[in-house]
Every structure is written in C-alpha cells, then in structure tokens.
Amino acid sequence: MQTTIQFGNPTTLQEWSMFKGKLNQAKKEEVSLIKKSSDAESLIYQLTKKMQLGILK
C-alpha cells in the first residue's frame, strides 16, 4: 500500500523553506534582511521569537 502525504501547495512549501533558510543565514552571519525601520524590525523579531518557541514551524 502506498501512502501519500500532502502538505499543501508545493510552491508555498518551497517559499517557506527558502524563507527559513534566509532567516538562519541572517542569524549566523548577522546580515540585515530588510531596511532598518522600527516596524519591520519588530515584525522580524516577533516572528523569529515565535519560531524559536515552536509556535511557528
């Protein structure tokens, strides 16, 4: 019996994987992902913290 697991749109999954890769690279190399602004920095900080806590995967 063959089992198939679908995780949604492959394009979305690929985009998410690339985004997580860029975040990890930015953490290691301390590269800025976006232009400096308080709103953008706050958003990235909040998303990163949620990922670290396992809220976002």
For residue range 16-51, what is the model confidence (pLDDT) as tens digits? Answer: 888 888 888 877 776 665 555 667 778 888 888 888
Q: How confident is the model at residue 1 (pLDDT cuts 50, 70, 90)?
A: very low
Residue type, 15: E
Given this model, what pLDDT does residue 14 score?
80
Given this model, what pLDDT does residue 56 score?
60
pLDDT at residue 10 is higher than 80: no
> CA 49 to CA 56: how far, in whole Å?
9
Given this model, what pLDDT does residue 33 score?
59
